[in-house]
Chain A
Amino acid sequence: MAEFIAYLIAGIATGAIYALAAIGFTLVWQTSQTINFAQGEFVMLPAVLVLLAIKLFGAPIWLGALIGIAAFILIFGAGFKLAVVDPMIKHGVLPLAIATMALSIIMKEGAKDAFSAEAQNFPSFVPTQTISVFGASISLQHLAIIIVAFAVIGLLQWFVGGTRLGRQMQATAQNPTVARILGIPVERMVLLTFVINAALAVVASALISPIYLAKFSNGEVIGLFAFIAAIVGGFNQVRGALVGGLVVGIVDSMAAAYISTSYRLAVPLVLLVVIILLKPEGLMGRKEERRV
């Protein structure tokens, strides 16, 4: 039982990271009806930028973090929306999706060339100790990931549902035309969504990089699993992304523990196929109908 609890907590921690990244998929989907295939790289890059800022400016960690995070949110939050989404969305969602694929490659190769092809140490804000829960040794780092990720997701839910600005954002996502008629600054709301997506990526990056180490290729795994999580949970619901992330994280951990590490990647993919066949809108998603 203690062993099972340990696997479960590890799975929830990993799943919480996938959830943060998966929420980014849903936010971009809701505002631009497209898939950001660079979402994994969005999680990879903040850690790299922080380390790059420390290396280039000889800055202390806190200043490096400040510079790296600010640069990331500015360039890949606001800048992504203004430089990639706005010009491409006029030509339909497919060109935009392809543009995000190109962006993903540019981010990855750019990080490799400007930073390093090798993994680098990323500082952790939590000590590497364990506590005992029902006889199982639980990593403080995993607990911190779960607490921070859930707090951030809770904050986001409160912001979206409980504040005027959040409701305007929601209205924009549901029907931009009506929102505009109601006087909501639609463009600003869309921009805010992209900035929030970038901020979530920063949190995910800060939580996962001490474990995965900062490396240009980290986005590949995170992006794939977050994408699966978003589909499993429901692409059009933030809470769906949360559930999907946790399900995928737990399934991944259990597969590695009780099936085989070699097949751990395959198991979430099987889950994805099953969900698409049985509940195409995802576990928590709502059915969308469109006239063509």
Chain B
Amino acid sequence: MKMQWILATALSAALGLPALAQDKVKLVDVVELSGAGATAGTNWKNGIDLAVADINAKGGILGKQIEITHYDTQTNPGNTRAAVQRAIDEGTYAVLGPVFSGPIGASMQIAQRAEIAQFVGGEAANLTMQGNKYLFRTSLSQTAAMPKIAAYLKNTVKAGSVAVVWVNNDFGKGGRDAILPELEKAGIKVAVDVATEQGQADFAADAIKVKNSNADAIFVYLNEEESARFLRAAKQQGVTKPMVGETTLLGSKVIELAGEAANGVKGHVGLSIDAPIPAFQEFGKKFQAKYNYVSDHNGLKGYMAVYMIKWATEKQKTFDKKGVADTLRGATIKPSDEPGIMIETTIEQNGDLDRESFLAEVKDGKQVITATLPKIKP
């Protein structure tokens, strides 16, 4: 009799497990939780967790709860490749992350071969120029952002010459290569072109170089922690010319780390919780309440990435991995159709995004949005 009970229990457990698994959809996030990309990666991860909690609380995607797993890549391209492969082997429905352009470039072919959609936080222009139909950005590409920066430098800052400070990784090189032709088109001279290293701690020499270039403005294109260190070094060296950047430079973590040195920084931001969009502000409050700090653009990107997957799945009415990419390419997602997307977003055929963006300035330690820029193709 006892044996029968054991067998019955084992049988019911064996039958029950697949049923349980079928009630869930697995998503794997491959992200920089340590190393140089820790700040961006942690925000991205937390944004994803917030979206997953929200979606699960409302019944999941097509009735299935999302099961999210995060793998730390340590901002290492090799680890990223291994983690993406592991995610696919474990049957992920889509790959989320990474955020840094270098690791994305090193790992995107793996998801492409498996015909699984990958949602990344990278901005390097070349990522979406390689014909990968499964790669989707969650931010504007440098190709979209840099013309806006050049126009801002010319029309608002009235700069005739600019010092360009960039980080020598895929993100920074891509940004530099995208801004230089735009500056030339705008008739702005490059006074000095300063390459810095990812993870660099001491920016004194770079700040002195920039100061002595006598440029009218300084375009700073570094990752979060390096941006903060550079701003501090520039303040220590008495650099007073306007600092202009793209999204990262005006991010909340940079403002927090740079302290007073961040005041006066200006530029273009793709996403911001301070933007005059109620859904962004609501997200910012929820994020702050849950994690006790202010989300930067990467938090918003992570959040929206999960909703892009939800929208595509509900649109195709089935959990077809390949279909996610097919559904998203060329689509425009409106907040009226999917409130979690927060802002009308058009996904180009190559995975680039088009949406409204913002001009901002840091005042008294806070990012203040000064203007809203329309979509490139309204």
Contact = CB atoms under 8 A, between A and B. Distances in A.
Contacts of A265: 197
A248 to B, nearest CB: 12
Given A117-B42, A130-B236, A261 B195 contact: yes
A112 B195 contact: no
Contact of A10 (B39, B208, B228): B208
Interface stretch (A28-36, A56-64, A252-260): A252-260
A89 interface: no
A213 interface: yes
B233 interface: yes
B212 A3 contact: yes
A213 B257 contact: yes
Interface in A257-271: 257, 260-262, 264-265
A118 B206 contact: no
A241 to B, nearest CB: 19
A253 B228 contact: no
Q: In which size bucket is the chain B interface? A: 35 or more
B256 A137 contact: no
B114 interface: no
Interface string B302-319: 000000000000000000
A139 interface: yes
B208 A257 contact: yes
A48 to B, nearest CB: 14
Contacts of B204: 10, 13-14, 139, 142, 211, 253
Contacts of A119: 39, 225, 228, 257
A256 B253 CA distance: 26
Contact of A261 (B35, B200, B233, B236): B200
B349 interface: no
Contacts of A253: 204-205
Interface in B175-213: 194-197, 199-202, 204-206, 208-209, 211-212
Interface string B260-294: 11000000000000000000000000000000000
A110 B194 CA distance: 35
Contacts, number: 97
Contact of B238 (A120, A137, A217, A221): A137
Contacts of B205: 7, 10, 253, 256-257, 261, 264
Interface in B215-269: 225, 228-229, 232-233, 235-238, 253, 256-257, 259-261
B249 to A, nearest CB: 15
Interface in A189-218: 210-213, 215, 217-218
B56 interface: no
A117 B257 CA distance: 14
A54 B209 CA distance: 37
A139 B234 CA distance: 10
Contact of B195 (A120, A217, A257, A260): A260
B34 A117 contact: yes
A120 B200 CA distance: 15
Given A117-B33, A117-B38, A256-B206, A128 B257 contact: no
A264 B228 CA distance: 20
Contacts of A140: 236
A104 interface: no
A141 B203 CA distance: 13
Contact of B237 (A117, A130, A212, A218): A130
Contacts of B235: 128
Given A117-B42, A212-B229, A217 B199 contact: yes
A189 to B, nearest CB: 35
15 contacts: A6-B237, A7-B208, A10-B204, A10-B205, A10-B208, A13-B204, A14-B202, A118-B38, A119-B39, A128-B235, A137-B211, A142-B204, A211-B201, A221-B201, A261-B200
Given A118-B253, A210-B232, A262-B168, 18 more contacts: A10-B204, A10-B208, A112-B34, A121-B257, A129-B238, A130-B236, A130-B237, A130-B238, A139-B237, A142-B236, A212-B202, A213-B225, A213-B228, A217-B35, A217-B199, A256-B205, A257-B209, A261-B197
Interface of B: 33-35, 38-39, 42, 168, 194-197, 199-202, 204-206, 208-209, 211-212, 225, 228-229, 232-233, 235-238, 253, 256-257, 259-261
